[in-house]
Structure 1
């Protein structure tokens, strides 16, 4: 049936054109934006996942920046520690040279002093962004003063909860060179350096103990005894001053080895029998080693000790031991810093890779296939032209009715 009121063909053609225009609008939007899912109306589930993962990627980008800052702090501390190790090696070499006979220790100390100043300069300069991990407050420190951390990663678990993971580093006496509020750092902590003594075993009341007492040479004993008007016994194993000869009150010496003497006390044999006798003089008195004459110890630290030509070989050996202990501790601290630096470098690579993976994953969900969309756009353009042509034909159908009314 042909009607001038209802043009079914035109209505059908118009409906088709509207559908084609809608599809074309959608395809053009995808071509323009590059997104298959540009909003929640396109695909709510995919849009929600993509939005969440994009926010996580932004957090990972912040983590990358934090890792860079943390790496800079670690690298600064490591460089400072490594430089300090080289300086301490030089100090160790100087002390080794000072142990040689006839060396001018005062001149060597001048060089050591310069190296000690360099250590303090390194400790002060090893700072990045206001933080110094080689020179810090340890004595009386708060938790915030010593507990350091570096951001490592951003994590979203299976339940959706998010958290930031960190690499912790605690400042203590094993990795800080200088304590700014005390002397518990590697280089400023004190060690007791014993004087030039000798260890002897003495039996007192049946119990034998080891005692580090002052050691004297024969020449030193001779000078002391002669100057005080004293004398040596016939065998040359004991010596005493006049005040102690037979009176039990003077300074005495007992020979315990080749050119080695120690201080002794003179006791009445009848009145004192608890300590073993090392020598007996011509009278009724016995000479016993004075265990209270301990070799003097001096508290020293790597950054402040000093030597001169009176420093004994025993003291040099003690200083060498102190410096070597500090060197071992510094080496361990440097190794720890190096390990953390390696971990941060690996984490930086992982975060970069993870960011790329998330980008690719989001792309698979929401990106448009441009090859497919361009082909579809061409097809829709053709369909649109055909639909317009069809609508035009349908609109001219009603005009044909006029021919029926012509005479």
Structure 2
């Protein structure tokens, strides 16, 4: 090796190695601080791109879950109201059957009719109150042919359809009308026939809502699991192994100290030239 005051090759090599160690330490510290082995496209463009796509899908699935949560709330309210309607119809039937008794006095029949009329009004109140976030699927306020749809996947390519059921008076399901009365045996017999048919259709409609609610719940559970799987998948791609990074940091710290010492020693090499000239004097 040539001794020169102009070029100190050992110092250059030591400096290069020290800079390399510093760069590696910066990378390790970044991974420790962020918890990510790949935090930007420059770390690994291909994997970063894949991870970004999966993050986009996760974000979209959050929107799907919000849509399904809303659907769940709407069906829960509708089910509660539908079951109440079914209970009210059962109470009405009790009044109607009682009104068919030929031995009833006029006052008793009038009292039964008043109770029946009150139940009719209560039914209407229940149906109209079954609203969540402005949506009511049992009062006929929406288009039955259109129904309601909710997001089912991250691309919004598929939907879950919630069929509307009109349980209001004077509908195809509920053939009772607001003016129905049971203050005579003949009227009671007429109402009973329509009431029995209505109870059958209402129970079928409520059962249909229950089946749809179960489908929505099952799909919502699947979306939650899928979201968790995607999160784990992204983590597998980009998360840093903190145990390895800790061990690597310890090694680089020692390597950095040794590199600094090596550079210091290399920088002292030109001093040898002075001793050569001093010896010649």
In the superposition, the TM-score normalised over structure 2's length comes to: 0.91
Q: Establish whether residue 370 from structure 1 lines up as the match of residue 242 from structure 2.
A: yes
- What is residue 165 of structure 1 aligned with on the other side? 158
Equivalent residues of 1:147, 1:168 under 8 A apart: no
Q: Closer, same or farther in 2 for the Cα pair 1:327/1:151, shift >3 Å? A: same
| 1:161-208: CA deviation from partner (whole Å, max 9, x where unpaired) | x3342221343xxx20227xxx43423x4xxxxxxxxxxxxxxxxxxx
Equivalenced residue count is 275
* SS of corresponding position for 1:147: coil
In 2, distance between residues paired with 1:107 and 1:380? 93
Match of 1:308 in 2: 183
Runs of 4+ in 1 over 4 A off after TM superposition: none
Task: Judging by fraction of residues, say which structure has more strand.
Answer: 1
Q: CA deviation at 1:343?
A: 1.5
Answer yes or no: is 1:133 the counterpart of 2:137: yes
Distance 1:153 1:370 in 2: 37
**Residue 146 of structure 1, CA deviation:** 4.7
Distance in 1 (alpha carbons) for counterparts of 2:135 and 2:172: 17
Q: Compare the two structures and name the one with the higher helix fraction.
A: 2
Give the aligned partner of residue 229 of structure 1: none
Deviations for 1:325-367, whole angstroms, at most 9, x for unmatched residues?
Answer: 1001111111111111112222222111111111100000011
Partner in structure 2 of residue 89 of structure 1? 90
Q: Determine the C-alpha separation between the residues in 1 that align with 2:59 and 2:157.
A: 13
1:188-203 equivalences under 5 Å are 189=175
- Alpha-carbon distance between aligned partners in 2 of 1:63 and 1:3, rounded to the nearest angstrom: 71
Per-residue CA deviation, residues 273-298 of structure 1 (Å, 9 max, x unaligned), is: xxxxxxxxxxxxxxxxxxxxxxxxxx
1:111 is paired with a residue of what secondary structure?
helix
**Structure 1 residue 393 corresponds to structure 2 residue 265:** yes
Q: Provide the rounded CA distance (Å) in 1 between the counterparts of 2:183 and 2:19.
A: 103
| Distance (whole Å) between structure 1 residues aligned to residue 85 and residue 156 of structure 2 | 37
For 2:71 and 2:130, the matched residues in 1 are separated by 14
2:31–2:240 contact (8 Å) kept in structure 1: yes
1:121 and 2:125 correspond:
yes
1:10 aligns with 2:11: yes
The structural deviation recorded for 1:71 is 1.1
Give the equivalent residue in structure 2 for 1:186: 173
The residue correspondences of 1:92-111 to structure 2 (distance < 5 A) are 92-104=93-105, 105-111=109-115
Query: How many angstroms apart in 1 are the aligned matches of 2:141 and 2:227?
Result: 39
Query: 1:149 and 1:110 mapped to 2: Cα distance?
Result: 37
State the secondary structure of the residue aligned to 2:147: strand
CA offset at residue 372 of structure 1?
0.6
The aligned residue for residue 227 of structure 2 is: 355
Q: Is the 8 A contact 1:150 1:166 kept in 2?
A: yes
> CA, structure 1 residues 396+137, in 2 after alignment: closer, same or farther (shift >3 Å)?
closer
Give the drift of 1:405.
Answer: 1.3
Task: List runs of 5+ in structure 2 lacking aligned partners.
Answer: none
| Structure 1 partner of 2:167 | 177
Cα offset, 1:122, TM superposition: 1.1
Equivalent-residue separation in structure 2 for 1:176 and 1:328 (angstroms): 14
Contact 2:96 2:188 in 1 (8 A): yes
Rounded to whole Å, the distance in 1 between the matches of 2:219 and 2:84 is 26
CA distance in 1, matches of 2:163, 2:209: 11
SS at match of 1:308: coil
Quick check: which has more Rg, 1 or 2?
A: 1
Q: Report how far residue 317 of structure 1 moved.
A: 3.8
SS of 1:356's equivalent? helix
